Amino acid sequence: MVVRSMSNPDLSQPMSSHARAMMDRRERLLGPNNPTFYDEPVNFVRGEGVWLYDHAGQRYLDCYNNVAHVGHCHPKVVEAVCRQTSTLNTHSRYLHDNMLDYAERLTATFDPSLNTLLYTCTGSEANDVALRMARQVTGNQGIIVTDHAYHGNTELVMELGTIFSDAESLPSYVKTIPAPDSYHLPADAADLEQMGDQIIDHLQESIAALQKAGHGLAALLICPIFANEGFPDLPADLNSRLTEAVHAAGGMIIADEVQSGFGRCGAAMWGHQATGFLPDLVTLGKPMGNGYPIAGVVTRADIMSTFRQNSMYFNTFAANPVACAAALATLAVISDEDLINNAATVGEYSRNRLVKLQERFAALGNIRGSGLFFGGEFVSDRETKLADSVTARKVMNRMREEGVIMGVIGSRDNLLKIRPPMPFSKSNADLLFDKLQYVLDGI
Ligand SMILES: Cc1ncc(COP(=O)(O)O)c(C=O)c1O
């Protein structure tokens, strides 16, 4: 099996003595190949709102972290966690209002049919359980993902990690569809709509292959905005057409909202609402507890009840009262501070500023994204659109030196990924783009 690893700094390159000592210790204590960001890995010791502070007191504008969704150390979340942790923390085999209150408030943000919640601790577990539910309810085993997918780290979910492995290495019950790519359209697709048609054709082929092999189709698992794939522009009806085709084949559609959820796209609370489809199962994670581990699967009552009646599922730390207190407070802050509208407004403002930079720098081949999840693709030539991952990584590392934290993703590893905490303001965006212009001027 071909396994690609996550990017790591080149340990043979110069690094500060502080980072070097911590990296050596990390490798000795935790083993090798533990992913870190940046050529000079950063040691944060404190966070507040959209700001992070390193061990030497340097301040960084966080343009990357969706875990601290409502801002680092948000006082309301901190207070809720402190209050609950000093009162009681147990597990889910006792009765507790927090787990019920949260399930009630969370599911109220979904279509009325998606009205039950199974708690987990991580997004990986949520996807793992959602796939088990789909398999159990459909009686089929086959799973389809995109050809550049990451959905987590359990054994089952890792098998779907096409971001790390080649198509030939996939188990026979896993098939792929091409990830939508609005900038590098396939040679025989004239526009987004034709790209969409081709993806649907591929889906039909993958379904047929699973059926022929006797697996049938249990589920198509997608991130509604294809975040890890590079958050492309989508044909308006792509996700609803995928859903229709999956249902016609007797399968279920799972929306992995670990990255796209909780208002990130600005247009709605959930990525599936923003991109126009109704999934059978929705998986949640990262932002849910603003850093406190809590995740889950939201689904219909009939699916939940079939699963619960046929499987024993217990997860010691999931839905503990403190995790639920963190999640309750996070949900309240999203609404109290109108953060979904903020994502829409500041997201649009940011993309306009990025477009201005694109006019000035030929290396910025394409700008895209929605809400507070956007970025730009680096190319060495706009005509050929040849991906330039070296410049993308250089920019990311230079921005870190300038005190701005961002990432690089996409199947060509050349897409700046900007996904700040949701209270990100226009003045934060101004600082980000002033710095980006300065860095690009020097490259
Ligand atoms: C789309 C998506 N799904 C699932 C996961 C796994 O979540 P976790 O790391 O909480 O297990 C990730 C993590 O990066 C992700 O990006």
Does residue 243 carry a pLDDT above 80?
A: yes
Q: What distance in angstroms lies between residue 275's CA and the mean position of ligand 1's atoms?
A: 20
| Ligand 1 nearest-atom number relative to CA 293 | 10
Residue 49 lies in a domain: yes
Instruction: From residue 213, give the alpha-carbon distance in Å to each of 140, 144, 242.
Output: 11, 14, 21
CA distance 89 to 86: 8
Confidence band, pLDDT 50/70/90 cuts, at residue 8: low
CATH code for position 395: 3.90.1150.10
Q: What distance in angstroms lies between residue 151's CA and the mean position of ligand 1's atoms?
A: 5
Confidence band, pLDDT 50/70/90 cuts, at residue 1: very low
> Pick from 308, 336, 364: which residue ends a domain?
336
Q: For 158-167, what is each residue's pLDDT tens digit?
A: 999 999 888 7
pLDDT recorded at residue 7: 59
CA distance 312 to 274: 34
Residues 421, 398 share a domain: yes
CA distance 391 to 389: 5
* Total domains in the fold of the chain: 2
Residue 10 lies in a domain: no
Residues 407, 304 share a domain: no
% of the chain residues with pLDDT over 70 = 97
CA distance 12 to 28: 16
CA distance 393 to 400: 11
pLDDT recorded at residue 167: 79
**pTM (global) more than 0.95:** yes
Does residue 88 carry a pLDDT above 90?
A: yes
Residue 309 lies in a domain: yes
Listed residue (24, 45, 43, 44) closest to 34, CA to CA: 24
> Pick from 336, 356, 378: which residue ends a domain?
336
Residue minimizing CA distance to atom 13 of ligand 1: 152
Which DSSP string do the residues of 124-146 spell out, in sequence order?
HHHHHHHHHHHHHHH---EEEEE
Residue 93 lies in a domain: yes
pLDDT recorded at residue 59: 98
Q: What distance in angstroms lies between residue 286's CA and the mean position of ligand 1's atoms?
A: 7
Structural domain for 354, as ranges: 17-70+338-441
Confidence band, pLDDT 50/70/90 cuts, at residue 310: very high
pLDDT recorded at residue 168: 83
Does residue 4 carry a pLDDT above 60?
A: no
194 contacts: CB under 8 Å, gap ≥ 6? 185, 188
